[in-house]
Amino acid sequence: MTTEYGYGTIEGVAALARTWTENNTFADETIYAVGTNPELHSVISWLNEVSAMLDIALGKYGFVVPLSSTAGRLSAKSIVEQITADIVKYVNNQGRFFSERFVDSGMSVWKAIRTDLDLWVLEFAPGLANAGETQHSSDIDAIGFSDHDESGEKMFPIFQRKGFGNTFDDWTQ
């Protein structure tokens, strides 16, 4: 039986990090005489954490979460299991997060994961929308401004365009 945690499964992570499994799965020492490194409860926690981080990244770009289309969920499953397998490798002093290049970059593992998820969402956003995922408009690229002050009084720009020599032609006439 395959149990999904967030967007991923233990079996999916185990397939990508087989070296650190016991009989192709992760085990807790409390359940079995010998646990794996990492233990099952840690992998489940990471699957849930990475899935939640992906939901937050998706929400930032207006997607309704959790994803519901088959294509969307399978795509999310792929990235979540890959990143979780990278964490498994990292706790065993292996993989991209343990490389000399990564360590020298000074970036934290969780920052790298957030960056990966954000880039994944940007790359997959059009495909997710085409697959039927609901996406609302997002204010992520909007310029923030206030037209009223804290007391509710209307505010006016400190500088007017005319003050800088900006003039506009009305081309509609």
Contact 40, 78 (CB under 8 A): no
pLDDT bucket at 32, cuts 50 / 70 / 90: low
Give the contacts of 66 (CB within 8 A, at least 6 positions apart): 7, 51, 55, 73
- Return the pLDDT at 14: 97
* pLDDT band for position 142 (cuts 50, 70, 90): low
- The 3-state DSSP class for residue 108 equals coil
Identify the residue whose tokens are 């720009």. 157
Is the residue at 164 inside a domain?
no
Coil vs helix vs strand at 57? helix
* Domain membership flag for residue 54: yes
Domain total in the chain: 1
**152 occurs within a structural domain:** no
Nearest to 61 by CA among 140, 130, 128: 140
Domain that holds residue 42: 4-130
The model's confidence at residue 1, banded by pLDDT at 50, 70 and 90, is: low
- Flag whether 169 is in a domain: no
Please check whether residue 105 lies inside any domain of the structure.
Answer: yes
Mean pLDDT, the chain, whole residue set: 89
Q: Which tokens is 158 given?
A: 């400190």
Does residue 156 belong to any structural domain of this protein?
A: no
Please, which residues have CB within 8 angstroms of residue 31's CB and are 6 or more apart in sequence?
40
